[in-house]
Amino acid sequence: MNKPPPGDGPLLSIRNVGKRFGSVVALEDVTLDIEPGEIFALLGPSGCGKSTLLRIIAGFEPPTSGELLLDGHDLVRLAPNKRPINMVFQSYAVFPHMSVARNVGYGLQMERVPKSEIATRVAEALEQVQLGGLGERMPEQLSGGQRQRVALARALVKRPRLLLLDEPLSALDAKLRDAMRLELVNLQGETGVTFVIVTHDQHEAMALADRIAVLEGGRLRQIGSPRSLYHQPVDAFVADFIGTLHAFDVTRLERIDTASLRVQAEGLGTFTLPGPLPPGAREGEQATGSFKAGIRPERIGVSLEPSSGFGPDPGRVEVAGTMGDIAFQGQHSIVEIRLTGGRSISAIVQGDEAAALAAHPIGQPVHAHWAVEDLALLPERAA
């Protein structure tokens, strides 16, 4: 996707925005910038404030505090219909009694745009979303993906500076969701319109977005590219939300020297981890719950015998468990390892190795292991 060159400043600046509903804090001091021509995702669990922030940008909710600037100009005082912003709702909100063309042109009709211009712009918008020639059809004659495209065309026909999409793929089945992700990316690249997408689906956000803002409990946890959030999360919450993280409570931290730490973690024992003490940690403190030692499933190996046959390997962490279920995923399988205490972790195993493990009876001993440098030492919540 070819992005336009960055402008002199952000398209939308959100500064210290807060929102309260009575005593309930929906958003707390959110500050972020959205650049021209990017796909920006607001990601988080249900109730984190992402849809509230989208509604504030659209003008459907006033912020309790803070400001919004579009191209440096105050947006808060503008009514929703005066903002150069359009929104595609989760339900699509396609009018069932109108043809596709009338649905797409309805907003222009309400603005009293000349009929000849409406016809031209509607035809252009339908071509953009690959619905050219379907203008006379009724919504009931369309598939779910086509109805979504009608909603997109209706938003794009008004040539907005900013397009807001609220869970745009949630009503589609899995196969159609994958296809529509690619279509949305291609459509944004062709139009150059800045997209802001709300989703609770990490895979959707990572596949679509240039940058992602992770929210939790009304607070902004971290902003970054999908790659940076995955590889450099600020805390265990972000790491677990962007991908999967198996996190073990750290019970003690001790500095060996300037380049290494001795870490004790529940379920892992004691091991040496490269790096300095993390911010907020005090040497030797009992740190249960404050820090986590985390490992991604794709970094975990599984073997039927201990990997360190000649004694402990200081460069590896190994835990014993029993075989759990295996989920076949095509080119790889997800293997469950059941640890003592009732906890399970999963490993992503490829090809022949997965086939060999599939023949191993459930409940029989196995060993999970990984390189010590693949462990991430993370605070439970960043300050």
Strands, sheet with 260-265, edge to edge from the N-terminal-most edge strand: 269-274, 260-265, 246-257, 291-295, 376-379
Q: Where are the domains of the chain?
A: 12-240, 246-379
Per-chain mean pLDDT for the chain = 88
The pLDDT of 283-291, averaged and rounded, is 62
Tokens coding 326: 């295996």
Query: What is the CATH T-level fold of the domain 12-240, as seen in this structure?
Result: Rossmann fold (3.40.50)
**DSSP code, position 73:** E
Say if residues 200 and 41 touch (Cβ distance below 8 Å).
Answer: no
Residue 179 has pLDDT above 90, yes or no: no
Residue with tokens 């992005």: 3
Q: Does residue 311 have a pLDDT over 60?
A: no
Does the pLDDT at position 71 exceed 60?
Answer: yes
Q: Do domains 12-240 and 246-379 have the same CATH topology?
A: no
Q: Which CATH class is domain 246-379?
A: mainly beta
Rounded-to-integer distance, Cα 53 and Cα 371, Å: 41
The pLDDT value recorded for residue 309 is 54
306 three-class SS: coil
pLDDT of residue 242 exceeding 50: yes
Per-residue pLDDT, 346: 96
Residue 128's pLDDT is 84
Cα–Cα nearest to 166, from 139, 190, 201, 192: 201
